[in-house]
Amino acid sequence: MWFLCVFYHRLLDFRKPEVEALAELFGEDESLLQWRLPEHHHNDTPFHFVHLSSEEIARNIAKRSILVKGMYELWGQGSSYEELKDSIQTFPDSRKLPFLAPDSTFRISVETFGKALTFDEQRERINSLTYIPFQGKVNLKKPDHKFFIIEMDESEENNGLQPILQRRIFFGREVGFADRKLLPTFQLKSRTYLGPTAMDAEMAFLMANQAKATSGKLVYDPFVGTGSILVSAARFGAMTMGADIDIRVVRDGRGPDCNVWSNFKQYGLPMPVALLRMDNNLPPWRSGLKEIFDAIICDPPYGVRAGGRKSGGRKILRGTVDPYTVPEDKRSDHIPSTGAYSLVECVHDLLHLAARMLVMKGRLVFFFPVLRDENGSEVKFPEHPCFKLVAVSEQILSSRYSRVLLTMVKVEPYSEEVEEAARLMHLEFRENHLKWLEEGNIHSSVFKPSDSCQVHTDTKSFKDPKPKYRGKYV
Amino acid sequence: MRLITHNMLSCNIKGVANGFPLKIEAESVIEKEVDFNPDFLRHMFAKIEWKALVEAARSLGYSELPEDSPAAAAEDESLLKKLHHALLELHLEEGALVCPETGRRFPVTRGIPNMLLHEDEV
């Protein structure tokens, strides 16, 4: 069945992957899911057609999603109201009549994109639908069936879309819609315990959806911080587990009622199964432990807002293998020094951890920084023989860099041979693609002063540097 | 710290070969009720080192688990309930995990095990 899937016009790169991940979560056959664009529409449009095997799956996806505004059974479409009428009339009665029955209640709403209609204009459009034999009673508050007229004009200058050639009008029956109420409830400004890099609620939920977090699953965040990502996974019913190298963050927080635990308590969510302090570079997992997590979700420290740390500080600083010995009497209170942990190492350790500790078909979802290069050179992402990259969603953070949410699925079991192949892959990646990411580089590229200091004599061309078309820059 | 965590951790000081299972020194143990989720437990049952769990539970004062790994735990509801209690409801709030080989103590404070190594251990 084809459905009209209308998205919120934000985080454009994240929209389809979210639907795809949720489709899989609700048991959709991977090969059945297809996308199609309305005529003359560009990929960034909020209107997409998606093929799913049942209305129930469409409803479940919409309900759980963050970016789907609504899923509709399309009754007709056209570039004018005449065309819409013809299209609705050719839609089979067998599909229409069950929802028009005398004992049912209904409501028709008018939605627009990139334009606003007055109340009178809306009423006029609703009244023009007399050719649909509605038998039921109108109920605005709690109707059995909700119908929508969704209208957008040919793009004018500033509706946030690339120029689309034609006006398009859709009429459909609502199948499901997103529960965005989650977002105000979980917004960071009302969260008790926050850190400088706490993940905002919308993104955290998107990450949990990419990871297919759900009841009975165990989700792990190796850079847990204040727990902002795990909170979203727990909201979807998953068991959570987090680790961090900074003991002050995980153990102490800002007091007894302001710590990682209290962030879960605040929303009445089950506490994480475990929080522990450890070094991701030297994880203390027992040998033989594997395939225990269903998903790993994280925002690794990549050195722009927070840098990574790992064990063995003094040793690294001195550059000697000569052991630094902690005096016997100071051992119990000793706070080990840590050294810088470059993104290259961090990503390598993360892939290694995921390869070993994820169940088959388990998902690794993490952010990876990308410098925005005007030359448009292709970005290469880290690879691992156990993983298949299934989604790449870019969120542009500044004119200098963006972060990309990578979703990987474990498709090969972990073994020693695989580990050797992974090592070679990593070396190659490190050699050819990650030089700029080595310690310090990304930070300096992001924060270096702009070199466009030429004097702008022509004030006109300087006036309007931003394109009208926002595309995925929203 | 719950015993599910204990079952996953070992001492990873450089050169240590038998860092598992860590011995538990319990100073303060609490119990918190957790929703029973049989699917989760079945998944975990397959991953657990049974002997280590039995011993760890005993050191927290719970000795209801059978000594030998039960063959058909997945169907046995009463056993799943015991597993649930041992894995998820018992918390080591204060104490330490001790490496069986070197005797190194990893402190557990406010329920959080500190597994970070000193500079001379990595």
Domain ranges of chain A: 2-180, 184-447
**Beta-strand relationship, A293-298 and A274-277:** unpaired
The pLDDT of residue A173 is above 70: yes
On whether ipTM exceeds 0.85, the answer is yes
Q: Looking at per-residue confidence, does A357 or A251 come out higher?
A: A357
Q: Pick the residue from chain B with its C-alpha nearest to A327.
A: B120
Residues A159-173 have a mean pLDDT of 76
The string of pLDDT tens digits covering residues B11-22 is 999 889 899 999
- Rounded-to-integer distance, Cα A57 and Cα A59, Å: 5
Percent of chain A with pLDDT over 90: 58
- Rounded-to-integer distance, Cα A315 and Cα A339, Å: 8
Residues A444-451 have a mean pLDDT of 67
Q: Using the beta-carbon criterion (under 8 Å), do A326 and B120 form an inter-chain contact?
A: yes
CA distance B58 to chain A (A): 20
Q: Give the mutation candidate from B49, B112, B121 for the A interface (greatest A CB count, under 10 A).
A: B112
- Note the pLDDT of residue A247: 83
The pLDDT of residue A212 is above 80: yes
- Rounded-to-integer distance, Cα A442 and Cα A429, Å: 17
Supply the Cα-derived Rg of chain B in whole angstroms: 15
CB of A75 closer than 8 Å to CB of A4: no
Least confident of A139-148, A286-295, A431-440, B47-56: A431-440
- Rounded-to-integer distance, Cα A137 and Cα A101, Å: 9
Residues in A whose CB is inside 8 Å of some CB of B read: 215-218, 239, 241, 245, 247, 250-252, 270-271, 273-279, 282-289, 291-292, 311-315, 323-326, 331-332, 334, 336-337
For chain A, give the mean pLDDT. 86
The pLDDT of residue A117 is above 60: yes
- Note the pLDDT of residue A464: 45
The candidate with the shortest Cα–Cα distance to A367, out of A241, A229, A234, is: A229
Confidence band for A456, pLDDT divided at 50, 70 and 90 = very low
- Note the pLDDT of residue A430: 75
Buried b (16+ CB within 10 A) or exposed e, A304-326: bebbbbbbbbbbbeeeeeeebee
> Tell me, which fold does domain B3-15+22-104 have in CATH?
N-terminal domain of TfIIb (2.20.25)
- Rounded-to-integer distance, Cα A35 and Cα A33, Å: 7
The string of pLDDT tens digits covering residues B27-37 is 999 999 999 99
Residues A218-245 have a mean pLDDT of 95
Q: Which CATH number fits domain A184-447: 2.40.160.20, 3.40.50.150, 3.40.109.10, 3.40.50.920?
A: 3.40.50.150
- Strongest mean pLDDT among A369-383, A417-431, B78-92: B78-92
- Note the pLDDT of residue B54: 95
The pLDDT of residue A437 is above 90: no
Per domain, the residue ranges of chain B are: 3-15+22-104
Contacts of A241 in chain B (CB under 8 A): 5
CA distance A305 to chain B (A): 23
- Note the pLDDT of residue A345: 82
Tell me the CB-side half-sphere exposure of residue A161, using CA atoms within 13 A.
24
Q: Pick the residue from chain B with its C-alpha nearest to A214.
A: B40
> Which CATH architecture describes the domain A2-180?
2-Layer Sandwich (3.30)
> Which of A251, A292, A311 faces B122 most closely, judged by CB atoms?
A311
The candidate with the shortest Cα–Cα distance to A474, out of A4, A5, A15, A21, is: A15
Q: Looking at per-residue confidence, does B99 or A280 come out higher?
A: B99
The pLDDT of residue A288 is above 70: yes
The pLDDT of residue A269 is above 50: yes
Contacts of B32 in chain A (CB under 8 A): 271
Least confident of A211-215, A375-379, B48-52: A375-379
Residues in B whose CB is inside 8 Å of some CB of A read: 1-2, 4-5, 7-12, 19-21, 32, 34-35, 37, 39-40, 43-44, 47, 49, 88, 105, 107, 109-120, 122
Least confident of A118-132, A146-160, A229-243, A385-399: A146-160
- Rounded-to-integer distance, Cα A109 and Cα A295, Å: 40
The pLDDT of residue A440 is above 70: no
Q: Looking at per-residue confidence, does A356 or A165 come out higher?
A: A356
What is the C-alpha end-to-end distance of chain A, expressed in Å?
Answer: 31
Question: Which sign, positive or negative, has the C-alpha torsion A62, A68, A70, A72?
Answer: negative
Q: Looking at per-residue confidence, does A157 or A167 come out higher?
A: A167
Residues A252-274 have a mean pLDDT of 91
Percent of chain A with pLDDT over 70: 83
- Note the pLDDT of residue A249: 83
Residues B74-95 have a mean pLDDT of 91
> Which of B2, B111, B115 faces A278 most closely, judged by CB atoms?
B115
- Strongest mean pLDDT among A47-61, A103-117, A161-175: A47-61
The pLDDT of residue A404 is above 60: yes
- Strongest mean pLDDT among A28-32, A90-94, B39-43: A90-94
User: Cβ atoms within 10 A of the Cβ of A381, count?
Assistant: 14
Phi/psi at A336 (5° precision) = -65, 140
Residues in chain A: 474
- Note the pLDDT of residue A74: 97
- Rounded-to-integer distance, Cα A44 and Cα A55, Å: 25
- Rounded-to-integer distance, Cα B95 and Cα B30, Å: 12
3-state secondary structure B107-119: EEECCEEECCCCH
- Note the pLDDT of residue A115: 81
Residues B41-68 have a mean pLDDT of 92
Edge-to-edge strands of the sheet including B105-109?
B23-31, B90-98, B105-109, B112-113
- Note the pLDDT of residue A186: 93
In which residue are the tokens 């070993």 written? Answer: A356
Contacts of A283 in chain B (CB under 8 A): 12
Q: What is the DSSP letter of A337?
A: -
Helices (H), A171-238: 182-186, 201-210, 228-235
User: Cβ atoms within 10 A of the Cβ of B23, count?
Assistant: 14
Confidence band for A474, pLDDT divided at 50, 70 and 90 = very low
What are the beta bridge partners of residue B107? B96
- Note the pLDDT of residue B26: 95
